[in-house]
Structure 1
Amino acid sequence: MSQFQPDSPATPAVNAQRLWAGGAATALVAALAAVVGLLIVRGILDTPVITPERMPGNSQAGSLALSAAIAALVATALLHALMVSTPRASNFFAWIGILATIATALWPFTIAATTASRVASAAIYFVVGIAIVSLLTGVAGSAQTTRRIGV
C-alpha cells in the first residue's frame, strides 16, 4: 500500500490518449476551417485560392481539408515530443506554431497571382494555423499530469 509522501518529487507525465484525442478533434476543426474559408473566398468573394500545385485528388476543398488535418496531426506529434522532453512545452509549441503559421500565410505572396487572391489565401492559412495552435495549446494543459516518484 502506498501512501502520499509530501516530500516525494513529482515528474511531469503526458496522458497520450487525451493528447491524441484532442489532436484528432483539432484535425477535424482545422479541416472544416479550411473548407469554410475556401467557401467564403471562392464562393462568396469569387476570388481564386492559391494552393500547392501537387495536391492529392482533384478537389481543392478536399486537398485543403486534408492538408489542414495532416498539419494538425503533425503539430500534435510535435507537441507530444515537446511535452515529454522540454520544460514549458506549451510555450515552445506556441512559438513554433505561430512562426510556422506566419510562414505558411506568407507563402501565397511568393506566387504570381492577384493581390486579392494572395490576401484571401493567406487569410485561410492564417486562420487554420491559429486554430491548430490555440486548440492544441489548450489540449496540452489538459493532457499534462504529474506522477510522484517512488510512490
Structure 2
Amino acid sequence: MTAEPPARRLDAGRLWAGGLATAVVAALVAVAGILLARGVLEIPVLAPQGDGLWGNANTATYALVAGGAALAATALLHLLVLTTPRFPRFFAWITGLLTMIAAVLPLTLDASAPSRIATATINLVLGLAIISILNGVVRTAYRATPNR
C-alpha cells in the first residue's frame, strides 16, 4: 500500500498577512521611486518642480494607491486560488497585463517626456514587485493537512 502525499490547504490568514506586507512594500516603492525621480534625477513626477523633493499630496495618494493595488492583487489571487485551475498562470497573465497598462498609460499623457518615462518606470517596478512578492507569498501560504 502506498501512502498518499498530505493534502494541502490554503492558509488565508497567511496569504492576507503577506498581502498586507506587500502593500507596505508597494507604497514604499512608490515613495522611493518618486524620491529618486524628483530628488536625484530632478524630474517633476506627480507635482510641479517647485513643490520640492517630497512633492505634494499626490505623493501620499500615489503611495496609498500602490498599497491598494497590492491588496486588490491579493484579493484577485485569493479568488483565483479558490476557483481556478492553474491559478498561478492566470494570476501572472492578469497582473502582467495590468502592469503593462499601468506602465504604458503615463506615456500617453500630456506631460514632459522625462516625467512620462519616470512615471511609467515607477509603475512598471511597482507591478513587478507586487507580482513577484505575491507569487512567493502564495507558495508559502499552503499548509499540509493530514489525510483522512
| RMSD, matched Cα | 2.1
SS state of the match for residue 26, structure 2? helix
Relative distance call for 1:147 and 1:63 in structure 2 (3 A) is: same
- 1:116 and 1:8 map into 2 onto residues whose CA distance is 54
* Pairing of 1:1-150 with structure 2 (within 5 A): 6=3, 10=7, 12-50=8-46, 59-145=57-143, 147=145
- 2:102 and 2:61 map into 1 onto residues whose CA distance is 16
- 1:123 and 1:32 map into 2 onto residues whose CA distance is 15
Higher relative contact order (CA 8 A, sep 6+): 1
Unaligned runs of 5+ in 2: 48-55
Unaligned runs of 5+ in 1: 52-57
After TM superposition, the score normalised by the length of structure 1 is 0.84
Tell me the matched-pair count: 139
After TM superposition, the score normalised by the length of structure 2 is 0.85
- Whether the 8 Å contact between 1:108 and 1:121 is mirrored in structure 2 is yes
Identity of aligned residues (%): 48
Letter in 1 for 2:89: N
Letter in 1 for 2:82: V
